[in-house]
Protein backbone atom coordinates (compact mmCIF):
# COMPACT_ATOMS: atom_id res chain seq x y z
CA UNK A 1 0.00 0.00 0.00
CA UNK A 2 1.06 3.56 -0.53
CA UNK A 3 1.63 4.27 3.15
CA UNK A 4 4.51 1.80 3.16
CA UNK A 5 6.45 4.32 1.09
CA UNK A 6 6.33 6.82 3.93
CA UNK A 7 7.61 4.49 6.59
CA UNK A 8 11.21 4.88 7.60
CA UNK A 9 12.55 1.45 8.33
CA UNK A 10 15.74 0.02 9.66
CA UNK A 11 17.49 -2.24 7.19
CA UNK A 12 16.98 -5.77 6.43
CA UNK A 13 17.39 -9.00 8.30
CA UNK A 14 18.00 -12.32 6.57
CA UNK A 15 15.47 -15.05 6.29
CA UNK A 16 17.05 -17.10 9.07
CA UNK A 17 17.57 -15.15 12.27
CA UNK A 18 20.79 -15.60 14.24
CA UNK A 19 21.29 -14.73 17.91
CA UNK A 20 23.15 -11.55 16.87
CA UNK A 21 20.28 -10.57 14.62
CA UNK A 22 17.83 -11.19 17.44
CA UNK A 23 19.78 -8.79 19.63
CA UNK A 24 19.78 -6.16 16.88
CA UNK A 25 16.07 -6.58 16.38
CA UNK A 26 15.39 -6.26 20.09
CA UNK A 27 17.31 -3.00 20.22
CA UNK A 28 15.16 -1.27 17.62
CA UNK A 29 13.15 1.71 18.84
CA UNK A 30 9.50 1.07 19.55
CA UNK A 31 7.32 1.85 16.49
CA UNK A 32 5.31 5.04 16.18
CA UNK A 33 1.81 5.71 14.85
CA UNK A 34 0.70 9.21 13.81
CA UNK A 35 -2.89 10.33 13.22
CA UNK A 36 -3.10 13.65 11.41
CA UNK A 37 -5.62 16.43 11.97
CA UNK A 38 -8.41 18.27 10.23
CA UNK A 39 -7.70 19.33 6.65
CA UNK A 40 -4.51 17.26 6.42
CA UNK A 41 -3.67 13.94 4.79
CA UNK A 42 -1.48 11.05 5.83
CA UNK A 43 1.28 11.86 3.34
CA UNK A 44 1.22 15.65 3.32
CA UNK A 45 4.59 17.43 2.99
CA UNK A 46 4.39 18.76 6.53
CA UNK A 47 3.70 15.35 8.00
CA UNK A 48 6.48 13.73 5.97
CA UNK A 49 8.88 16.40 7.24
CA UNK A 50 7.94 15.62 10.84
CA UNK A 51 8.43 11.91 10.20
CA UNK A 52 11.84 12.54 8.68
CA UNK A 53 12.88 14.53 11.75
CA UNK A 54 11.66 11.77 14.07
CA UNK A 55 13.59 9.18 12.06
CA UNK A 56 16.79 11.16 12.54
CA UNK A 57 16.06 11.44 16.25
CA UNK A 58 15.34 7.70 16.60
CA UNK A 59 17.32 5.87 13.89
CA UNK A 60 15.63 2.70 12.69
CA UNK A 61 12.16 3.63 13.92
CA UNK A 62 9.12 2.30 12.05
CA UNK A 63 6.48 4.99 11.51
CA UNK A 64 2.93 4.35 10.38
CA UNK A 65 0.79 7.30 9.30
CA UNK A 66 -2.92 6.54 9.78
CA UNK A 67 -5.14 6.97 6.76
CA UNK A 68 -8.87 6.63 6.16
CA UNK A 69 -8.39 6.41 2.40
CA UNK A 70 -5.16 5.67 0.47
CA UNK A 71 -6.06 8.47 -1.94
CA UNK A 72 -4.66 11.62 -0.24
CA UNK A 73 -7.52 13.80 -1.50
CA UNK A 74 -10.10 11.41 -0.10
CA UNK A 75 -8.11 11.06 3.11
CA UNK A 76 -8.24 14.85 3.54
CA UNK A 77 -11.97 14.86 2.78
CA UNK A 78 -12.50 12.22 5.46
CA UNK A 79 -11.25 14.68 8.09
CA UNK A 80 -14.38 16.75 7.40
CA UNK A 81 -16.96 14.19 6.29
CA UNK A 82 -17.56 10.73 7.69
CA UNK A 83 -18.68 8.76 10.71
CA UNK A 84 -15.96 8.90 13.37
CA UNK A 85 -17.03 5.64 15.04
CA UNK A 86 -16.61 3.88 11.70
CA UNK A 87 -13.27 5.58 11.09
CA UNK A 88 -11.95 4.41 14.46
CA UNK A 89 -13.03 0.84 13.64
CA UNK A 90 -11.32 1.03 10.25
CA UNK A 91 -8.09 2.28 11.82
CA UNK A 92 -8.21 -0.38 14.55
CA UNK A 93 -8.19 -3.07 11.86
CA UNK A 94 -5.55 -1.18 9.88
CA UNK A 95 -3.18 -1.12 12.87
CA UNK A 96 -3.83 -4.78 13.64
CA UNK A 97 -2.83 -5.67 10.08
CA UNK A 98 0.62 -4.04 10.32
CA UNK A 99 2.99 -6.75 11.64
CA UNK A 100 5.59 -4.23 12.81
CA UNK A 101 3.07 -2.86 15.34
CA UNK A 102 2.09 -6.18 16.89
CA UNK A 103 4.22 -5.71 20.00
CA UNK A 104 2.83 -2.28 20.79
CA UNK A 105 3.76 1.24 19.79
CA UNK A 106 3.85 4.90 20.80
CA UNK A 107 1.43 7.34 19.19
CA UNK A 108 1.10 11.01 18.33
CA UNK A 109 -2.26 12.62 17.60
CA UNK A 110 -2.34 16.00 15.91
CA UNK A 111 -5.47 18.00 16.75
CA UNK A 112 -8.56 15.78 16.24
CA UNK A 113 -6.28 12.81 15.63
CA UNK A 114 -5.53 12.91 19.37
CA UNK A 115 -9.04 12.14 20.59
CA UNK A 116 -9.43 9.59 17.80
CA UNK A 117 -6.35 7.74 19.06
CA UNK A 118 -7.76 7.90 22.58
CA UNK A 119 -10.95 6.33 21.24
CA UNK A 120 -8.81 3.55 19.75
CA UNK A 121 -7.21 2.92 23.14
CA UNK A 122 -10.49 2.85 25.01
CA UNK A 123 -12.33 0.69 22.49
CA UNK A 124 -9.55 -1.58 21.24
CA UNK A 125 -5.90 -1.05 22.25
CA UNK A 126 -4.88 -4.20 20.42
CA UNK A 127 -2.03 -3.82 19.64
CA UNK A 128 -1.50 -1.51 22.61
CA UNK A 129 -0.33 2.08 22.72
CA UNK A 130 2.38 2.66 25.32
CA UNK A 131 2.77 6.45 25.27
CA UNK A 132 0.25 8.86 23.71
CA UNK A 133 1.08 12.48 22.89
CA UNK A 134 -1.77 14.71 21.74
CA UNK A 135 -1.18 18.19 20.31
CA UNK A 136 -4.07 20.65 20.62
CA UNK A 137 -6.65 17.87 20.73
CA UNK A 138 -10.31 18.42 21.56
CA UNK A 139 -10.65 15.96 24.45
CA UNK A 140 -13.61 17.81 25.96
CA UNK A 141 -14.93 18.78 22.56
CA UNK A 142 -15.39 22.22 21.02
CA UNK A 143 -18.02 24.81 21.79
CA UNK A 144 -17.62 26.65 18.50
CA UNK A 145 -16.54 25.66 15.02
CA UNK A 146 -13.14 26.90 13.84
CA UNK A 147 -13.03 29.48 11.08
CA UNK A 148 -11.97 28.35 7.61
CA UNK A 149 -9.65 29.92 5.08
CA UNK A 150 -11.77 31.87 2.56
CA UNK A 151 -11.03 29.54 -0.36
CA UNK A 152 -11.12 26.23 1.55
CA UNK A 153 -14.34 24.88 0.04
CA UNK A 154 -14.37 21.59 1.99
CA UNK A 155 -13.98 23.37 5.30
CA UNK A 156 -16.52 26.10 4.53
CA UNK A 157 -19.16 23.62 3.37
CA UNK A 158 -18.71 21.48 6.47
CA UNK A 159 -18.83 24.52 8.76
CA UNK A 160 -21.98 25.85 7.12
CA UNK A 161 -23.69 22.46 7.34
CA UNK A 162 -22.78 22.06 11.00
CA UNK A 163 -24.01 25.52 11.93
CA UNK A 164 -27.32 24.65 10.27
CA UNK A 165 -27.91 21.97 12.89
CA UNK A 166 -24.92 20.55 14.74
CA UNK A 167 -27.01 18.12 16.80
CA UNK A 168 -29.31 16.86 14.07
CA UNK A 169 -29.02 13.23 13.01
CA UNK A 170 -27.38 13.93 9.64
CA UNK A 171 -24.66 16.12 11.17
CA UNK A 172 -23.96 13.61 13.92
CA UNK A 173 -23.52 10.83 11.38
CA UNK A 174 -21.65 12.70 8.64
CA UNK A 175 -19.82 15.81 9.88
CA UNK A 176 -16.66 14.97 11.76
CA UNK A 177 -16.49 18.20 13.79
CA UNK A 178 -20.14 17.87 14.83
CA UNK A 179 -19.27 14.55 16.44
CA UNK A 180 -17.03 16.27 18.99
CA UNK A 181 -19.08 19.47 19.32
CA UNK A 182 -19.94 19.88 23.01
CA UNK A 183 -21.68 23.07 24.10
CA UNK A 184 -22.36 22.99 27.87
CA UNK A 185 -25.26 25.38 27.27
CA UNK A 186 -26.92 22.55 25.29
CA UNK A 187 -25.67 19.67 27.40
CA UNK A 188 -28.85 17.61 27.38
CA UNK A 189 -29.14 17.87 23.61
CA UNK A 190 -25.47 16.85 23.30
CA UNK A 191 -25.96 13.80 25.52
CA UNK A 192 -29.10 12.78 23.63
CA UNK A 193 -27.61 13.21 20.16
CA UNK A 194 -23.86 12.66 20.24
CA UNK A 195 -22.57 9.13 19.65
CA UNK A 196 -18.81 9.69 19.62
CA UNK A 197 -17.42 12.13 22.19
CA UNK A 198 -20.14 11.48 24.77
CA UNK A 199 -19.28 7.80 24.42
CA UNK A 200 -15.48 7.96 24.69
CA UNK A 201 -15.79 10.40 27.60
CA UNK A 202 -18.24 8.00 29.28
CA UNK A 203 -20.64 10.89 29.92
CA UNK A 204 -23.79 8.86 29.43
CA UNK A 205 -25.85 7.72 32.45
CA UNK A 206 -24.37 5.08 34.74
CA UNK A 207 -26.20 2.20 33.08
CA UNK A 208 -24.44 3.06 29.80
CA UNK A 209 -20.93 3.54 31.21
CA UNK A 210 -18.28 1.30 29.65
CA UNK A 211 -15.79 0.10 32.26
CA UNK A 212 -13.45 -1.19 29.55
CA UNK A 213 -12.67 2.39 28.55
CA UNK A 214 -11.17 3.20 31.95
CA UNK A 215 -9.31 -0.08 32.17
CA UNK A 216 -7.75 0.38 28.73
CA UNK A 217 -6.70 4.01 29.14
CA UNK A 218 -5.18 3.24 32.54
CA UNK A 219 -2.75 0.86 30.82
CA UNK A 220 -0.85 3.74 29.22
CA UNK A 221 2.69 4.37 30.38
CA UNK A 222 2.16 8.09 29.75
CA UNK A 223 -0.49 10.48 28.44
CA UNK A 224 1.02 13.79 27.30
CA UNK A 225 -1.49 16.58 26.67
CA UNK A 226 -0.20 19.60 24.76
CA UNK A 227 -2.11 22.90 24.78
CA UNK A 228 -1.34 25.82 22.46
CA UNK A 229 -1.51 29.02 24.51
CA UNK A 230 -2.59 31.18 21.55
CA UNK A 231 -5.02 28.62 20.13
CA UNK A 232 -8.02 30.31 18.49
CA UNK A 233 -9.07 27.23 16.52
CA UNK A 234 -10.01 24.99 19.45
CA UNK A 235 -12.72 26.68 21.53
CA UNK A 236 -11.98 26.53 24.36
CA UNK A 237 -8.28 25.83 23.96
CA UNK A 238 -8.24 24.17 27.40
CA UNK A 239 -10.07 21.23 25.84
CA UNK A 240 -6.55 19.99 25.05
CA UNK A 241 -6.14 19.53 28.83
CA UNK A 242 -9.66 18.13 29.35
CA UNK A 243 -10.96 21.58 30.27
CA UNK A 244 -14.38 22.95 29.23
CA UNK A 245 -16.72 25.82 29.78
CA UNK A 246 -19.05 25.30 32.75
CA UNK A 247 -22.72 24.50 32.39
CA UNK A 248 -24.47 27.92 32.53
CA UNK A 249 -26.34 28.61 35.74
CA UNK A 250 -29.11 30.56 34.02
CA UNK A 251 -27.56 33.97 34.54
CA UNK A 252 -24.73 33.44 32.06
CA UNK A 253 -24.83 33.45 28.29
CA UNK A 254 -24.30 30.23 26.32
CA UNK A 255 -20.80 28.88 26.04
CA UNK A 256 -20.15 30.23 22.57
CA UNK A 257 -21.25 33.84 23.04
CA UNK A 258 -20.26 36.93 24.99
CA UNK A 259 -17.28 39.22 24.87
CA UNK A 260 -15.57 38.55 28.18
CA UNK A 261 -13.31 35.62 28.85
CA UNK A 262 -15.24 32.71 30.30
CA UNK A 263 -14.39 30.54 33.24
CA UNK A 264 -12.98 27.09 32.57
CA UNK A 265 -13.69 23.87 34.44
CA UNK A 266 -10.20 22.32 34.64
CA UNK A 267 -9.43 18.64 34.17
CA UNK A 268 -9.30 17.73 37.86
CA UNK A 269 -12.75 19.24 38.47
CA UNK A 270 -14.47 17.45 35.58
CA UNK A 271 -16.94 14.73 36.62
CA UNK A 272 -15.21 12.31 34.23
CA UNK A 273 -12.00 12.86 36.23
CA UNK A 274 -13.47 13.01 39.74
CA UNK A 275 -15.42 9.79 39.21
CA UNK A 276 -12.70 8.32 36.97
CA UNK A 277 -15.04 7.42 34.12
CA UNK A 278 -12.21 6.89 31.61
CA UNK A 279 -9.20 6.07 33.81
CA UNK A 280 -7.79 9.61 33.59
CA UNK A 281 -7.65 10.09 37.36
CA UNK A 282 -5.89 6.75 37.78
CA UNK A 283 -3.27 7.81 35.25
CA UNK A 284 -2.84 11.25 36.82
CA UNK A 285 -2.56 10.09 40.42
CA UNK A 286 0.14 7.62 39.41
CA UNK A 287 2.16 10.39 37.74
CA UNK A 288 1.46 9.32 34.16
CA UNK A 289 -0.26 12.48 32.86
CA UNK A 290 1.85 15.41 31.73
CA UNK A 291 0.26 18.77 30.91
CA UNK A 292 2.41 20.74 28.49
CA UNK A 293 1.88 24.17 26.97
CA UNK A 294 3.41 25.51 23.78
CA UNK A 295 3.45 29.28 23.16
CA UNK A 296 1.93 29.23 19.70
CA UNK A 297 -1.27 29.19 17.68
CA UNK A 298 -3.03 25.93 16.93
CA UNK A 299 -0.65 23.38 15.39
CA UNK A 300 2.13 25.94 14.88
CA UNK A 301 4.67 23.39 15.99
CA UNK A 302 8.12 24.72 16.69
CA UNK A 303 11.02 22.28 17.23
CA UNK A 304 11.34 23.62 20.78
CA UNK A 305 7.77 22.52 21.43
CA UNK A 306 7.58 19.02 20.01
CA UNK A 307 11.11 17.63 19.80
CA UNK A 308 11.77 17.25 23.55
CA UNK A 309 8.48 15.38 23.94
CA UNK A 310 9.18 13.06 21.03
CA UNK A 311 12.70 12.48 22.34
CA UNK A 312 11.34 11.52 25.77
CA UNK A 313 8.17 9.59 24.96
CA UNK A 314 8.78 8.04 21.56
CA UNK A 315 11.11 5.26 20.46
CA UNK A 316 12.06 3.62 23.72
CA UNK A 317 14.24 0.56 23.24
CA UNK A 318 13.19 -1.03 26.51
Beta strands in 66-137 (DSSP E): 105-110, 129-135
Tell me whether strands 129-135 and 222-228 are parallel, antiparallel or unpaired: parallel
Q: Which of 43, 106, 231, 284 is catalytic?
A: 231
**CB of 64 closer than 8 Å to CB of 93:** no
How many other CB atoms sit within 10 Å of the CB of residue 230? 12
How many other CB atoms sit within 10 Å of the CB of residue 252? 16
Q: Which of 36, 41, 43, 111 is catalytic?
A: 111
How many other CB atoms sit within 10 Å of the CB of residue 71? 13
Q: Does 58 qualify as catalytic in the annotation?
A: no
Q: Which residues contact 119 (CB under 8 A, 6 or more apart)?
A: 84, 88, 196, 200
Q: Which residues contact 26 (CB under 8 A, 6 or more apart)?
A: none
The CA-atom distances, in angstroms, between 21 and each of 273, 295, 315 are 45, 44, 19
How many other CB atoms sit within 10 Å of the CB of residue 282? 17
Measured distance CA(108)–CA(42) in Å, rounded: 13
Measured distance CA(30)–CA(54) in Å, rounded: 12
Q: Does 284 qualify as catalytic in the annotation?
A: no
Q: Does 231 qualify as catalytic in the annotation?
A: yes
Q: Which residues contact 16 (CB under 8 A, 6 or more apart)?
A: none
Catalytic site positions: 111, 231, 298
Amino acid sequence: MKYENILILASAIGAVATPIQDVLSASKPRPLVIWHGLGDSYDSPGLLKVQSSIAKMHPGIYIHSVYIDPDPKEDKRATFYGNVDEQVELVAQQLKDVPQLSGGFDAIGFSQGGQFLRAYIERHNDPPIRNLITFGSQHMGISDLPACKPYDLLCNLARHAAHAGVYNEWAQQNLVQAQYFRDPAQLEQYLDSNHFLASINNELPARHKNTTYAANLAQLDALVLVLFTDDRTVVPKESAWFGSYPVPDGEEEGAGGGGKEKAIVPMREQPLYVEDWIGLRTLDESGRVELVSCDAEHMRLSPECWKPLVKKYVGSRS
